[in-house]
Structure 1
């Protein structure tokens, strides 16, 4: 009896794992205003940039998503989808949402025939002070975070010279995404006064936000036939990759397969 139950359990697990939902988890830089610690210069009204992002949207649309998730909070869902619906109906409509949402997410949705977008960001938790390393007095180690971050920012500055497509290719590499976890969270663990955890506590706020983003994603009803396209700032992409790599529900699809 016990053996039969064990075999049945294994079969059920194999069935679940065989039906993972495919996800194209796409990291981007923000193509509109952002309060982030680092940003790339980008003119969303420049026709060359509009043309290039449209070509990128066509590449991504080959993934054939049925669900698209973006970096807005869920309480904006109605406004977002009203804006998106007007975009689909009228080619001359001026969208309320700009940046990568209008330039890439909307275009991918239109090409792929997706009628609804999902907002999965989370910003209702306490304030996240990523600049605490420059503010805290009497630190045990006042140099490590600054040194490690400077090395990362130096590489980010080199990416500034690339085209939009080349930027996005670099952003969606494991090295770049890992650096985003470092610079937004892990490097803060070097920031503290004796016996305290000021930097680690700030890093935990950012981890908390991304766990909630993942929870928002998990609340979307899906079937095994759905294909999810997520477009968010690279730091969120990096965290979601880590969560989904271990998930029994999702199968990450390599972004390089679509960014040609």
Structure 2
């Protein structure tokens, strides 16, 4: 866990061990690799949901093993997955049951995150997700946006955006049977594609409103808040010098990368070379 800055100052004064430092005495940066994912076991909570084949099937298990081994070559020191976990440790209890979970649970958190952690001998996997609840706001108030748009005669834009999403998902779903998992993930980690889709969906919704009521702007603000809280948890999990592999639904990737790029003491690592290597290895295995 990251120690609050005031306590770091006190610790230094009391001569406790210092944080990791580079040769010039500066704290080493935290390297973060944000791996955009599609959901292996889709809970059906997105605006448009994609159906995927069974990742527990032998072919997919071989591909996931190759993917995990390739990601492990980056030597992450911590692995964080899109699950909720309790502060202050943010450690996921389920990781201890890896042996049972990996043969029964289809989520990418288990199949990729837990698997890489086990390969590297990690004692813990961390959860950083932030979701709405009784004491939390609705971080994605799409229903309110749609209701306003319909009443204001702006529902044509909503229909257009959803149609575009459905077309994109249908095209991807059609490609899945012919692609390895690593090859499919390349699409989810192309920043030119994912970033453009993010901007098209969220920023288009800013026009849903009338000046007095701004449901589109509110949705953008709450979505930003959720992702900011997710990154804030990552910041509490990471220590200077860490290499953190972050598994994230690709809808979160744009904002999480934004924070990594702009947060002092952080550096962003690109997952594409590893995905391309894993895709090539998977193709060789299938021959």
TM-score normalised to structure 1 length: 0.82
Q: 2:36 aligns with which of 10, 13, 27?
A: 27
CA 1:184–1:117 in 2, change beyond 3 Å: closer, same or farther?
Answer: farther
Are 1:175 and 2:192 counterparts? yes
- Partner of residue 38 from structure 1, selected from 45, 48, 68: 48
Contact kept? 1:23, 1:229, Cα under 8 Å: yes
Offset of 1:126 from its aligned partner?
A: 1.3
Unaligned runs of 5+ in 1: 1-13
Map Cα deviations across residues 64-123 of structure 1 (whole Å, 9 max, x no partner): 111001111122998964421232xx4xx2458541011100111111222111111111
Aligned to 1:101, the other structure's residue is in SS state helix
2:146–2:158 CA contact under 8 A, matched in 1? no
Matched, 1:154 2:167: yes
1:99 maps to which residue?
A: 107
Aligned CA distance change for structure 1 residues 44 and 158 (closer, same or farther; 3 Å): same
Distance change (3 Å), C-alpha of 1:180 and 1:85: farther
Structure 1 pair 139–81 and aligned structure 2 pair: CA distance change class (3 A): same
2:210 is equivalent to residue 201 of structure 1: no
> Cα RMSD between the aligned structures?
2.8
Q: 1:189 aligns with which of 206, 210, 234?
A: 206
Partner residue, 1:122: 130
1:252 paired with 2:268, answer yes
Aligned length: 242
Q: Which runs of 4+ in 1 moved over 4 A?
A: 76-80
Q: Given the alignment of the two structures, is residue 210 of structure 1 paired with residue 221 of structure 2, yes or no?
A: no
Superposition deviation, residue 159 in structure 1:
1.8
CA distance in structure 1 between the partners assigned to 2:90 and 2:212 by the alignment: 47
* Counterpart contact for 1:140–1:194, Cα < 8 Å: no
Is the CA contact 1:140–1:193 (under 8 Å) kept in the aligned structure 2?
no
Q: 2 CA distance for matches of 1:180 and 1:109?
A: 31
> Residue 26 of structure 1: CA displacement?
0.5
8 Å contact kept, 1:32–1:99:
yes
